[in-house]
Chain A
């Protein structure tokens, strides 16, 4: 699949944004993070910013963005529509929670409820995003049991690391929070490695034989219907060399998991402002790493239409 930046950024940014939003909703709602205007303002602003930037970016993939509102109508069948509905719906409790927690400096009562609802909305939204990909049967690498948990794990991981950076920035960092980040990053790493291993060993039942209905033996593409690249090949015929892919997997592991783990481990031994600085660095590096991960998520996904083209 073509790793269009608009979509790569969209899923990465909203994943992190909803992760952060969910954590703020729960931790803020239960006063684990006490109300603080600037912390709240920056934290909620960051979450909203990532979500809005992601959603905005996703419209860059649309041919007719001015009609995007229509996407809310088909929630009964379409995960994309559900994602739209969930993401927008989440803004309601999130807005209320933001007002209560940030502007009124309150928690408990309706703010707690709003915070919990926000967290639920965020989790649901991330689930719907994951399901957009996980539901696509023509792409075996996506249509697997790894995809939906992956989206959730990475959302939690990036959200948590962002939250840590935020808290450390306000010198409110905690060992528990750091431990959570380390654990989630380790878990994310493991999940990603397991996903890759699964995909590399994937035996896909759909082959050039089943694609053409020609049973037995080998089916080899002789001539395409067109000699230049068409929409199908540009959108779904993306190919990445094995060597290139291995390199990018290493970069993903380094940026998304290894460096953040190292930095956060060091953070645990440091205090403000160095701890804050390294925490922010860890979040930024991880976000960059997740962009590479998401790029690979698309680039390594093979659509069945490529079978028709012998790719």
Chain B
């Protein structure tokens, strides 16, 4: 059913820390690896060893140069499904293949119903959906729905593959509908933002912006160094220090 659930029990999603992401692609391939054998398997790669290689991925990392009057910085930017609260990718689907789960808010595709019209990918402003031309259906991030509840995994491993992999701890996971959850508090603390809020999709995933920097972190407010003014200059200072 492509009508949206009136209310989802939980709002599961990711929080991505742009202040910490080094663009190492760990989350990208961890996602690919899990999901190519997972719920939407396979994530087909066309022409994998040729000149027109094009595979299906659920998570991609861009890099940008952000220049403001404060200076420039390089920002690595992971992009994947934001599991929006009002996802048009769901409502535009003519077959009911695309749907938002009422229980946890995860946006999924029922592959058996998908006719591959691609309209959902047009309706998604974020480029979260990728078409698998080999099987003719759309595929997308499942928030590792086959990990987070998986009885066959150790309980501690029941987090999305990208979160488990991230070497710099730049990815977080939880219920963003619960203001008391650790992720919600992280978002509140760090001023997490929505992407393209003006479009009104109300993304669940949040991005933590890079911390303001002015070439001087607040923790180091060092007074300028003054030359030692002792008799004999620096060497005199050394002698005096040693005699103390």
Contacts and interface: CB of A to CB of B under 8 A. Distances in A.
B8 interface: no
Given A64-B116, A77-B2, A231-B54, A222 B199 contact: no
Given A213-B207, A308-B79, A78 B91 contact: yes
Nearest to A63: B116
B127 A305 contact: yes
A137 B75 contact: no
Which of A62, A208, A230 neighbours the largest number of chain B CB atoms within 10 Å of its CB? A230
Contacts of B138: 63
Interface residues of A, number: 59
Given A71-B94, A78-B94, A217-B66, A132 B195 contact: no
Interface stretch (B56-64, B141-149, B225-233): B56-64
A213 B209 contact: yes
Contacts of A305: 124-127
Interface in B83-97: 88, 90-97
Nearest to B209: A213
A215 to B, nearest CB: 7
B115 interface: yes
B130 interface: yes
Interface string A173-186: 00000000000000
Nearest to A215: B209
Given A67-B115, A210-B196, A222-B64, A136 B127 contact: no
12 contacts: A62-B115, A63-B131, A74-B2, A77-B4, A78-B2, A138-B199, A210-B197, A213-B194, A225-B28, A230-B55, A235-B131, A308-B127
Interface of B: 1-4, 18, 28, 51-57, 60-69, 74-75, 77, 79, 88, 90-97, 113-119, 121-127, 130-133, 135-138, 193-201, 207, 209-210
Given A63-B117, A74-B1, A215-B209, 10 more contacts: A63-B131, A78-B93, A137-B201, A138-B199, A214-B66, A222-B74, A230-B55, A231-B56, A308-B62, A308-B127
